[in-house]
């Protein structure tokens, strides 16, 4: 199981930090809060420290061994007449030149991997937080839309009742308005329930208690792409932690092959000792740990390392294809969503506003009944809500673009 899977599972763990009663958050601030409070990211940060410590351990010289040897301990009385000889010694194992350097380089790749996993975790979390925040904004727009519809309906119903009392409109018109009023009240209740559920999701991602009140300070606003599509793709490729990870694993596999070849050469040991009968004199010996009878095992390790090198190359190519296809699909979704926003901005919104002004004038002159006016009001507000919805889908597509391809394992 990868570290990222553990991280994503911890998104549902308990919140960290002191309880927060109320907070004002922009979209960017919400992402920053999630980075600070999510325990999954702190787990990934600890993996960096763990990898760094492991590198120090694996790249250090083996521990020296100190010893005391005794010779001349006789079992018979005659043998015991001679004093035993003592010798103090110190032995330092010495790996073959280059092995420790390779192990140090290997350890650094694990440190880099942990850092890239943290970067991936932040990218994936940021996308989730952004979409949850945007969904809260859209649901808030839906509640406002339903509330305005209900307010308008109450006004029209009051006016219709006045006209009915004067005999200028039939009761069927009043009854229709009453039915629409009940329906609008139910719609508003459902919209508020959905808004509460959306805020619960956002609070979970931000690590806040359910009792926390979040005031959203950003708005659903259309944003042009910051650069040309091909330039965005090139920048995404250059900065992608997923592609960097795939390249890192390929480089690590090459180091493992080199280390497997080094293992065919002997390690050494250097020993120093001082005999008891000549204190102050020093002797030394040089030992060789030659793997004479481990050829088959060493050959297997070399073949295994070469196989991992080939697998890493295949994985790099697969990651590259996956990343490119996901980014292009996501970019196409951004373009499609952007086109829908422009359709609203170029004609539909202005046309709807103009028609509503005409209807209001006709209603004031008695040329339009209450039901037709209600239909036009609801259509105009529905149009505006769909425009906000189009912006929401566009911004979500943009958030998906920045995280697309980063979930490759």
336-394 per-position pLDDT tens digit: 999 999 888 777 666 666 677 777 777 766 667 777 777 777 777 788 888 999 999 99
Give yes or no for residue 130 having a pLDDT over 90. yes
Total residue count of the chain as it appears in this document: 409
Question: Can you give the pTM of this predicted structure?
Answer: 0.79
Tell me what pLDDT residue 297 has: 64
Q: Comparing 377 with 321, which gets the higher pLDDT?
A: 321
Q: Which residue do the tokens 């659903």 mark? A: 220
Q: Average pLDDT, whole number, for the chain?
A: 82
Q: Which residues contact 396 (CB under 8 A, 6 or more apart)?
A: 130, 131, 134, 337
Cα-to-chain-centroid distance, residue 177: 49
Query: Are residues 317 and 249 in contact, defined by beta-carbon separation less than 8 angstroms?
Result: no
**Structure letter (DSSP) for residue 278:** G
Give yes or no for residue 396 having a pLDDT over 70. yes
Give yes or no for residue 11 having a pLDDT over 50. no
pLDDT average, residue stretch 290-311:
72
For residue 96, list its beta bridge partners: none
Q: In the CATH scheme, what is the code of domain 3-71+84-403?
A: 1.20.1600.10
Tell me what pLDDT residue 186 has: 92
d(CA 186, CA 182): 6
298: pLDDT confidence band, cut at 50, 70 and 90? low
Taking CA atoms, 277 is separated from 3, 145, 250, 353, in Å, by: 60, 101, 58, 110
Please write the tens of the pLDDT for every residue from 195-245.
999 999 999 999 899 899 999 999 999 988 888 888 999 999 999 999 999
């Amino acid at each position: 199981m990868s570290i990222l899977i553990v991280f994503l599972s911890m998104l549902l763990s308990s919140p960290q930090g002191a309880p927060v009663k109320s907070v004002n958050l922009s979209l960017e601030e919400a992402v920053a809060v999630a980075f600070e409070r999510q325990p999954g990211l702190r787990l990934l940060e600890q993996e960096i420290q763990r990898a760094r410590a492991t590198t120090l351990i694996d790249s250090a010289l083996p521990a020296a061994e100190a010893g005391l040897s005794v010779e001349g301990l006789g079992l018979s009385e005659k043998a015991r007449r001679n004093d035993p000889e003592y010798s103090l010694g110190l032995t330092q194992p010495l790996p073959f030149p280059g092995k420790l350097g390779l192990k140090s380089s290997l350890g650094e790749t694990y440190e880099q991997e942990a850092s890239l996993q943290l970067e991936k975790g932040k990218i994936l979390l940021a996308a989730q937080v952004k979409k949850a925040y945007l969904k809260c904004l859209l649901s808030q727009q839906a509640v406002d839309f339903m509330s305005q519809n209900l307010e308008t309906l109450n006004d029209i119903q009051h006016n219709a009742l006045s006209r009915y009392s004067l005999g200028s409109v039939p009761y069927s018109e009043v009854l229709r308005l009453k039915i629409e009023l009940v329906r609008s009240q139910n719609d508003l209740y459902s919209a508020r329930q959905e808004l509460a559920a959306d805020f619960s999701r956002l609070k979970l991602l931000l690590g806040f208690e359910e009792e926390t009140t979040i005031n959203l300070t950003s708005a659903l606003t259309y944003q042009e792409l910051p650069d040309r599509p091909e330039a965005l793709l090139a920048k995404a490729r250059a900065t992608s932690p997923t592609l960097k990870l795939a390249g890192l694993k390929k480089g690590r596999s090459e180091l493992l092959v080199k280390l497997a070849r080094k293992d065919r050469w002997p390690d050494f040991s250097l020993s120093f000792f001082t005999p008891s009968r000549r204190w102050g004199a020093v002797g030394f010996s040089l030992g060789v740990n030659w793997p004479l009878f481990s050829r088959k095992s060493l050959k297997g390790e070399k073949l295994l390392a070469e196989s991992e090198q080939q697998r890493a190359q295949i994985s790099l190519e697969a990651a590259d294809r996956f990343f490119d296809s996901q980014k292009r699909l996501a970019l196409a979704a951004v373009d499609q969503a952007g086109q829908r926003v422009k359709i609203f901005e170029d004609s539909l919104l202005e046309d709807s506003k103009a028609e509503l002004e005409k209807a209001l004038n006709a209603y004031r002159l008695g040329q339009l009944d209450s039901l037709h006016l209600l239909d036009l009001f609801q259509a105009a507000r529905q149009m505006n809500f769909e425009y906000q919805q189009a912006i929401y889908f566009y911004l979500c597509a943009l958030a998906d673009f920045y995280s697309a391809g980063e979930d490759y394992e």
